[in-house]
Amino acid sequence: MSQTKKSILNANYVKLPGSYLFSDIAKRVQQYVSTHPDNQVIRLGIGDVTRPLAAVVIEAMHKAVDEMGSIASFRGYGPEQGYDFLRQAISEYDYANRNVAIALDEIFVSDGSKCDCGNITELFSNEAIVAVCDPVYPVYVDTNAMIGRAGEFDISEGKWTNLIYMPCVKENGFLPQLPSEDDSNKIPDLIYLCFPNNPSGTAIGFEDLKKWVDFANKNNSIILYDSAYEAFISENLPHSIFEIPGAKTCAIEFRSYSKTAGFTGTRCAYTVIPKELVRDGVSLNSMWNRRQTTKFNGTPYITQRGAEATYSEEGQKEIKETIAYYMKNAQIIRQGLIDCGFEVYGGVNAPYIWLKTPDGMTSWGFFDFLIEKAEVVGTPGSGFGPSGEGYFRLTSFGSLENTVKAIDRIKQKFQNIS
């Protein structure tokens, strides 16, 4: 008797198109480098930092390593939610200093915002309607697809059938518009917002963010707010969604030391879930606590001591100097591109510069052109969603020397494109 064999695989993974954006780019760059081994490619693609950790962070981590080597101060499993010394520093410096009261048990320290943004999807039903910006950090989309909430991938549209895409384009200043409330079945339950934005570098003001908080409270939606780039804000803008009245009943915030303090390789972040955030009588804070205590054994003590050191006077001084270094790069990229006649956005409150590709080139067409003609790597806008087509992202996380070199090369190729 012949039987159809059941599949034991998660079919949602099979539906995912291609590979993860940055793995795809790395593969293409590797291919180029292997065929041009003598050439010097400058990587301004993935937003990975290049400056070393602050001296006080290193000192704190060395001290923590020594503690681990002595029987009197050795530590085994730490609290899954993070040590109180770090949660206290977060509550005080990142929130109380901005007049926001966040209790220690509303803070969950982790090994990265990418993981938290992905893992948070577990708390919600597959019926939940998800809205994302377009273009968007691909992790929000792909992790919802992996869990089966995104529907099917429509190749012709470059979109998932069950997701609501909120175009962020030149015409709306790269800010998402509030979803329509006409059909209650189509109001998003989960809304991903990232400000300052990856990839467009756009920031949001207090009034605009308040509109989202009011919308979410009115419609029982939850905003998943990624503020990984808040340290790059140079103007008077909200650093946290909790600076907006009413946000505690409708938002979860993700924060990271990756870009703020150079921890992309060291791994430390945190997620804030206010106790007021309750749906169907259930506290999201308790759900996340249950999830973390079951699936996560905490961020290493040594790493958390390093993160704590970023809040010291010297730590703040050093990380601010590093951020200023990257923002100087951003300024060099912006100005260099403007001088060539490119249409340029971002780079003022964010480490990302978002540019319109010249002569109607596609994003991937420009990627190939730039690597071949200038040996500079960036990220194609279309990799972040269909509305990113015709755009391109450069990061300011390279060294000053390479940034200057990259812009000089681009200038030579694109002098006066307008």
Chain residues that interact with ligand MLT, rule: CB under 6 A: 46-48, 114, 137, 198
d(CA 103, CA 273): 10
Place of tokens 């697809």: 145
Distance in Å, CB of 55 to ligand MLT, minimum: 24
Q: Please count the CA atoms within 13 angstroms of the CA of 176 that sit on its side-chain side.
A: 23
| One-letter amino acid of 228 | A
In whole angstroms, how close is the CB of 281 to ligand MLT at the nearest point? Answer: 34
The one-letter amino acid code at 130 reads V
Comparison of 119 and 219: residue with beta carbon closer to ligand MLT: 119
Q: Which is nearer to ligand MLT, 48 or 111 (CB)?
A: 48
Beta strands (DSSP E) in 206-361 are 222-226, 251-256, 269-272, 278-279, 282-283, 344-346, 352-356
User: Looking at the chain, how many residues does it have?
Assistant: 418
How far is Cα 384 from Cα 378, in angstroms, rounded to an integer? 13
Q: Decide whether 138 or 315 has the Cβ nearer to ligand MLT.
A: 138
State which residue, 114 or 267, has the beta carbon closest to ligand MLT: 114
The CB-of-277 to ligand MLT minimum distance in angstroms stands at 24
The C-alpha atoms of residue 398 and residue 375 are separated, in whole angstroms, by: 14
Nearer CB in complex with ligand MLT: 120/216: 120
For the bound state, the minimum distance from the C-beta of residue 256 to ligand MLT, rounded and expressed in Å, comes to 7
Kindly state the smallest distance separating residue 333's Cβ from ligand MLT, in Å. 15
Query: What's the start-to-end Cα distance of the chain, in Å?
Result: 70
Query: Would you say 137 or 225 has its CB closer to ligand MLT?
Result: 137
In the block, residue with structure tokens 């990271």: 256
Beta 251-256 vs 222-226: how paired, if at all? Answer: parallel
Q: Are strands 130-134 and 159-160 parallel, antiparallel or unpaired?
A: unpaired
Query: What are residue 140's phi and psi, to 5 degrees?
Result: -65, -40
Which 8-state DSSP code applies to residue 94? I
SS3 assignment, position 176: coil
Q: How far is the CB of 261 from ligand MLT (least distance, A)?
A: 14
For residue 71, the minimal CB distance to ligand MLT (Å) is 38
Q: Residue 291 Cβ, how far from ligand MLT at the closest point, in Å?
A: 21
Q: Kindly list the distances between the CA atom of residue 57 and the CA atoms of 49, 54, 150, 229, 304, in Å, as whole numbers in the listed order.
A: 16, 5, 40, 20, 10
Residue among 137 and 160 whose Cβ is closer to ligand MLT? 137
Beta carbon of residue 46, minimum distance to ligand MLT (angstroms, whole number): 4
For ligand MLT, the closer of residues 248 and 393 by Cβ is: 393
Q: At what angle do helices 55-68 and 301-309 cross, to 10 degrees?
A: 150
Burial class, 289, CB count within 10 angstroms (exposed 0-12 / middle 13-18 / buried 19+): middle
Tokens of 346: 């971002």
Specify the residue, 91 or 258, whose C-beta has the smaller distance to ligand MLT: 258
Nearer to ligand MLT, 114 or 149 (CB): 114
Query: Taking the complex as a whole, how short is the minimal distance between the CB of residue 48 and ligand MLT, in angstroms?
Result: 6
- Cis status, amide bond into 79, omega within 30 of 0: no
Which residue in the shown chain puts its C-beta closest to ligand MLT? Answer: 47
Q: How far apart are CA 290 and CA 214, in angstroms?
A: 29
